[in-house]
Amino acid sequence: MLSAYTGNQVRAAESPLLEAGLGGELMQRAAHGLAQACVGELHATGGTYGRAVVVLVGSGNNGGDALYAGARLQQRGAGTTAVLTSDRVHTDALAAFRAAGGRVERLTGNLDRIAERVTAADLILDGILGTGGVGGLRGEAAELVTKVNVRGTSGRVVACDVPSGVNADTGAASGEVLAADLTVTFGGLKSGLLVGAGARLAGRVTTIDIGLGDTLAEPSLYSLEPSEFHLLYSQPQPADHKYSRGVLGIAAGSGMYPGAAVLATGAALATGVGMVRFLGPDAVTTLINTVHPEVVCSHGSVSESHVQAWLVGPGAAEDPGQRQRARDAITSGLPAVVDAGALPLLPETVGSHVILTPHAGELVALFERRGKSVEREAIEAAPLDSARRAAEATGATVLLKGNTTVVAAPDGTVFSQTNATPWLATAGSGDTLAGILGALVATNTKHDDAGASLGLPPSSRWAALAAAAAMLHGLAGQRAAKRGPIVVSELPRHVRLVIHELLRDPPRADQ
């Protein structure tokens, strides 16, 4: 499991080492790792010797890291130019760069010529702003990046710690940002590289251990990895039967939107569950049984149905009966996945066993119902903060859908999953995610320590399962997209195959 930290957390961890006089050593460790990563990028496209490297240098320690790394690249045969974007610069690092034979230019007065040099370089090392940068690039540095973005780059871009202009904590991007192919971050993975615009702009991310060790605080953010899926997936045991395996109740779909029920039900079946009990109107139950004859359908009530968990809301906003079933499921005391048309039916507060799955627009409406005015753009720019605030306001576990999926628990535990492909941005994709999550919840109700296998407290249980659902949904989407545009009704087949692959060779406990 990836653990990520805010910029303040990493700086706090560095503080005792800096006070002990180890600042220079920390910078050299960072620069060594950064240089090695740059060498790897150059070797992937033809080697280091004779290659053109441009180092964009800011005023802080981030610029110092980049200069020391540039000096190492110069010593390995690259032709390296440092572009100083500020009058202030790390003097020792600049001296080392010059001593290695690197060329130094100032940005002021040379904007167009330097933009041409940057766009033609084999590798661009972005060291303008680091974790302490606030408000994005300014002045000629912002103009330079704008020109480079318009013209495009022929080489690879490596960001030093974070892409300049990306908030290390939230992932929000201010102004123009030079998108990286690789971000090399130091001491601890930064939260902003896993969420929002930061996740899109960071490219691949690698973390360099500079020796912070136990001085780091508890992570601010987690991200599940595929190798951990087996820890959260409840596999059937020899003594299991359909009831002990887990029964998921679904109240979804309506005469206007029957397909949502079919998609959610199909995804739940593909994820693995002992039984699905479907409640809904005649037109929908007939369609469900035509497509999925194994589903037990009825027109009954929530109180009459024996299940372990509920999924309510997909396609159900137009049906009064489905709305009532949603209200009853949410207040039943059982775990409940609340999606789409059921979100407006939420009481003022619920428990963490109620898992909300809004997209940004639905979260705007949720906040408005609680007297808070929030713009959709603000939620999309800061999904981490938005999901946290929604969990605090409702008491629920909140899965905020988007290009990255953020899951926030009321206890403060937060996950971000970046597994999805843009091809999943299509109608019905959210219904499928809801079905996957419903199945994982229904089959895990007997295991109240789902987060323990990840070293997390019991209060993170539902958030961990929601993150697992988002990961599975994203991986299934990636698999389906290999054959072209995704047809959502075909996703369940890929869900089954991804589960098979993830469970086939789980790592041993000693690995």
The answer to whether residues 432 and 264 touch, using CB atoms and an 8 Å cutoff, is: yes
- In one letter, which amino acid is 172? A
C-alpha dihedral (78, 81, 85, 87), degrees to nearest 10:
120
Q: What is the pLDDT of residue 380?
A: 93
* Residue 428, marked binder: no
* Residue 280, marked binder: no
| DSSP letters for 102-144 | -EEEESTT-HHHHHHHHHH-SEEEEES--TT--S---HHHHHH
SS3 9: helix
Q: What is the pLDDT of residue 507?
A: 57
* Residue 62, marked binder: yes
> In the structure encoding, which two tokens stand for residue 266, read together?
């199909």
Q: What is the pLDDT of residue 213?
A: 81
Sole residue written with tokens 């090399």: 184
Q: What is the pLDDT of residue 458?
A: 87
* Residue 510, marked binder: no
* Residue closest to 334 by CA, chosen among 438, 178, 181, 207: 438
* Residue 405, marked binder: yes
* Residue 112, marked binder: no
Q: Compute the distance between CA of residue 292 and CA of residue 152 in angstroms, rounded to an integer.
A: 50
* Residue 164, marked binder: yes
* Residue 430, marked binder: yes
Task: Average pLDDT across each block of 10 residues of the chain; the chain has 511 residues. List them in order.
Answer: 94 91 94 97 94 94 96 97 94 96 92 93 95 85 94 94 94 92 96 94 96 89 95 91 94 94 98 97 94 95 95 93 97 97 95 97 96 94 95 98 96 95 95 98 84 86 97 97 95 97 71 45
Q: What is the pLDDT of residue 60?
A: 85
Which residues lie below 8 Å from residue 449, measured CB to CB, with a gap of 6+? 458, 461
Q: What is the pLDDT of residue 448?
A: 72
* Residue 136, marked binder: yes
* Residue 110, marked binder: no
* Residue 403, marked binder: yes
Query: How many CA atoms are closer than 13 Å to the CA of 105, on its beta-carbon side?
Result: 17
* Residue 446, marked binder: no
* Residue closest to 409 by CA, chosen among 457, 359, 338, 342: 457
* Residue 135, marked binder: yes
* Residue 240, marked binder: no
> In the structure encoding, which two tokens stand for residue 1, read together?
């499991």
Q: Compute the distance between CA of residue 295 and CA of residue 269 in angstroms, rounded to an integer.
A: 9
Neighbours of 254 (CB within 10 A): 23
pTM, 2 dp: 0.93
Domains of the chain in start order, with CATH, are 2-221 (3.40.50.10260), 238-503 (3.40.1190.20)
* Residue 203, marked binder: no
Phi, psi of 345 (to 5 degrees): -95, 0
* Residue 359, marked binder: yes
* Residue 300, marked binder: no
DSSP secondary structure code for residue 302 in this structure: S
Q: What is the pLDDT of residue 208?
A: 95
Bridge partners, residue 186, by sequence? 208
* Residue 333, marked binder: no
User: From edge to edge, which strands make up the β-sheet containing 52-57?
Assistant: 103-106, 79-84, 52-57, 123-127, 156-160, 182-186, 204-208
Q: Compute the distance between CA of residue 328 and CA of residue 133 in angstroms, rounded to an integer.
A: 49
Q: What is the pLDDT of residue 317?
A: 87
Which residues lie below 8 Å from residue 101, measured CB to CB, with a gap of 6+? 74, 75
